[in-house]
Structure 1
Amino acid sequence: MNGLYQPFKNFDFKNDKCFLSGDAFATPLTSVNVLPDWLLSMANLSGNEQIKLLDESIRTYKSLVVPCSVAVFDQFVSPLEDRVALAFGKGYAGVSALPEIDLFNWIGKFMYSILYIEMQGAIRLQQLSGDGMNMSQGLMHKFGNLHTMLQSIFREVVFEDFTPWSILVVPLEEKETAFSFRDEINTLTFSLKFKDFGIIACLQDNGTNKRYHQELLDSIQGKTLSEQQFEEVAARFFYSAYLFNRLPEYTIMPVEDTIYIDAMPLKGTLNKALFDVWAHKTYAQVLENFWKPWGHTLFEIIKDPTAPMSYFDEPFLPATG
């Protein structure tokens, strides 16, 4: 188990190895649902709901599966699912008490599974050669780092004095919010709302997005949010994750059965800010998309170009250029 499995090195997306461990365990493979059965049942979903992938194919939730070693699934993935299922069952009180590493691993596993399936689609359509030749090196690097961190699901991974993610769990006013999620693979950003809680996560930012929105987060501390407010906060994270202009670099050291990960300083040699300049107009377009259920038009949101519409009394919007 000493070696580090790096699927992006050989483009291992052929369903013939465990998607997490690369078969570090000599057990047969099984197919694992990307959206676990417990979640479908808790959310009253049939599994026939549809999702559109980047290759434009339409798939049902229950057709999204990845190959997983039986040992990895039984000993590690299943207990993680049990902990998250128990927390989701208790709503905000349960989810906010979960260790962030469990949320990171669960959301990361979900996003990496979707990525695994997207990779297969891209290779099938020959948008990607089998060795990933026309995929940006930066993205491969970022996805590879996420995969290395996710190995903490089945072996010990030590993050040395840093946290690779920004994760936010907030209480919602509406106690019976219907389950929905969104993800942005390129920036590894994710949001989910369900029951009386919402989760927002940026998986590879070393906590910078959370610091970027600190003023707003301080102002909502301890308050329950309406669905519109939650989507507004999510829109800000999705947009700032897009503006984040660093590719975090890590020193990764496998020692016996443990992987030690150290973060390099984000400042690096670049003298510019960590985020590109915030533009209200672009943010308003993101917001329009997140507020679709409430029918706010772009015109309405950006009627005052210096102050986009907000569901917060004090919006604490980042400064524009």
Structure 2
Amino acid sequence: MANKLYNPFLDFQFDNKTCFLSGKALSSYDEKIQVFPLWMMRSFDLEDKPFKMLDESIVTYKQLQLPCSAEVANKLAEVEEKVELAVQNGYNALKELDQLTLFQWVGKILYGVVFNEIQVGIRQAFLSGEQLNFSQALVQKFKNLHFMLQSLIVPMEFENKNPFTIAVFPVDSSPETFMYRDEINTLIFSIRMKDFAIIATLQDNGVHEIYHDEVLAKVKDKVLHPIQFEEICAKYFYSAYLFNRLPEYTYMEVPEKVFVEPMPLNDWTLKPIFDQWTAKTYGQVLENFWKPWGYTLFEIIKDPENPMSFITDQNGDFVSEVNLPK
């Protein structure tokens, strides 16, 4: 039986004449799609705005593209249509979208950024005459993301639990707000726009949701101030850095579909799944997320045992009204 799943990481096939998702040969270099959807770029005037790559080079949002067959482009267009309609209708519509649709939408953007970063790396290696040096752990993460993204074109069933978690929050942002972040090494993604925000952890088998259950319980059904959402974001991005497992998955291909099963995260070392949380490092992450409001690390960890928070007060209760200095 022929393999259903395409693996570009076997021979690092990241050219512009092969469909990024199916591996099928393209007839023209013009067969491309945007990494960031057109409707989003036009809504927030992103097309010519700068996007910084890992090597510090700058491209524009519209320059980030993927070689893509018509078949895959049509499947992605169906997902885009659902998400665009939900975004137009706001938080309540978006939170009703199923996790797989949201994963396919987020996953295509994040993998699209990865694809473009790899192309830059391949070009730089060629120009320097050196071999492309790529961490095997990252290859495994990106390969798994790519395999799961093929749920767009191959019937796929995630057994027992989803490998990903996508949380949607209501946020009291101004309508023109657009804030995008990703960390491709840890496969975490956040986006804040209009009246909602999304945090996606794409290969954690749901453990971040458990790890942050206390803060998630505090904010449940609450409309967040932007500074509160950015605080949650900082917690997630820091815990993604502390996550010390390399998740593994088995893929069973049968004629009808592909079954994906996460392997247990507990291993023979009996080490905790997350490394030790330290207030100072968390404070540095939070300082970065709170840049628009100008809070410094000194202010944030003035009391190292209780870093500054806009989510809970001194009694541990949710802060329903955020008062920021003018």
Tell me the TM-score normalized by structure 2: 0.91
Where does residue 71 of structure 1 map in the other structure?
A: 71
Which deviates more, 119-128 or 177-186? 119-128
Distance 1:177 1:290 in 2: 19
Displacement after TM superposition at 1:153 (Å): 1.1
Amino acid of the residue matched to residue 100 of structure 1? Q
Where does residue 197 of structure 2 map in the other structure?
A: 198
Amino acid of the residue matched to residue 72 of structure 1? V
Displacement after TM superposition at 1:42 (Å): 2.2
Where does residue 52 of structure 1 map in the other structure?
A: 52
Residues 27, 15 of structure 1: alpha-carbon distance in 2 compared, 3 angstrom cutoff: closer
Identical-residue share of aligned pairs (%): 48
Displacement after TM superposition at 1:2 (Å): 4.1
Query: Is the 2:204–2:247 contact (alpha carbons within 8 Å) kept by the matching residues of 1?
Result: yes
Displacement after TM superposition at 1:61 (Å): 0.8
Query: Is the 1:155–1:257 contact (alpha carbons within 8 Å) kept by the matching residues of 2?
Result: no
Q: Secondary structure at the match of 1:94?
A: helix
Where does residue 275 of structure 2 map in the other structure?
A: 276
Q: Secondary structure at the match of 1:201?
A: strand
Tell me the TM-score normalized by structure 1: 0.92
Displacement after TM superposition at 1:130 (Å): 11
Q: Secondary structure at the match of 2:189?
A: strand
1:67-126 CA distances to partner (integer Å, 9 max, x unpaired)? 00012112x011111011011111101110111111111111100000000001111111
Amino acid of the residue matched to residue 279 of structure 1? T
Query: Is the 1:109–1:150 contact (alpha carbons within 8 Å) kept by the matching residues of 2?
Result: yes
Displacement after TM superposition at 1:36 (Å): 1.2
Residues 243, 177 of structure 1: alpha-carbon distance in 2 compared, 3 angstrom cutoff: farther
Distance 2:84 2:177 in 1: 16
1:264-289 CA distances to partner (integer Å, 9 max, x unpaired)? 11002120100000011000000000
Residue 27 of structure 2 is aligned to residue 36 of structure 1: no
Residue 106 of structure 2 is aligned to residue 107 of structure 1: yes
Displacement after TM superposition at 1:313 (Å): 2.1
Amino acid of the residue matched to residue 51 of structure 1? F
Distance 2:169 2:119 in 1: 35
Pairs within 5 Å for 1:202-241:
202-241=201-240
Distance 1:228 1:130 in 2: 46
Amino acid of the residue matched to residue 292 of structure 2? P
Displacement after TM superposition at 1:41 (Å): 2.0
Distance 1:109 1:282 in 2: 30
Displacement after TM superposition at 1:314 (Å): 4.7
Residues 46, 161 of structure 1: alpha-carbon distance in 2 compared, 3 angstrom cutoff: closer
Query: Is the 1:177–1:196 contact (alpha carbons within 8 Å) kept by the matching residues of 2?
Result: no
Query: Is the 2:125–2:132 contact (alpha carbons within 8 Å) kept by the matching residues of 1?
Result: no
Query: Is the 1:11–1:131 contact (alpha carbons within 8 Å) kept by the matching residues of 2?
Result: no
Residues 132, 168 of structure 1: alpha-carbon distance in 2 compared, 3 angstrom cutoff: farther
Gaps of 5+ in 1: 317-321
RMSD (Å), alpha carbons: 2.1
Where does residue 188 of structure 2 map in the other structure?
A: 189
Query: Is the 1:248–1:266 contact (alpha carbons within 8 Å) kept by the matching residues of 2?
Result: yes
Residue 165 of structure 2 is aligned to residue 166 of structure 1: yes
Distance 1:46 1:153 in 2: 26
Distance 1:197 1:66 in 2: 27
Where does residue 321 of structure 2 map in the other structure?
A: none
Paired residue total: 313
Where does residue 88 of structure 2 map in the other structure?
A: 89
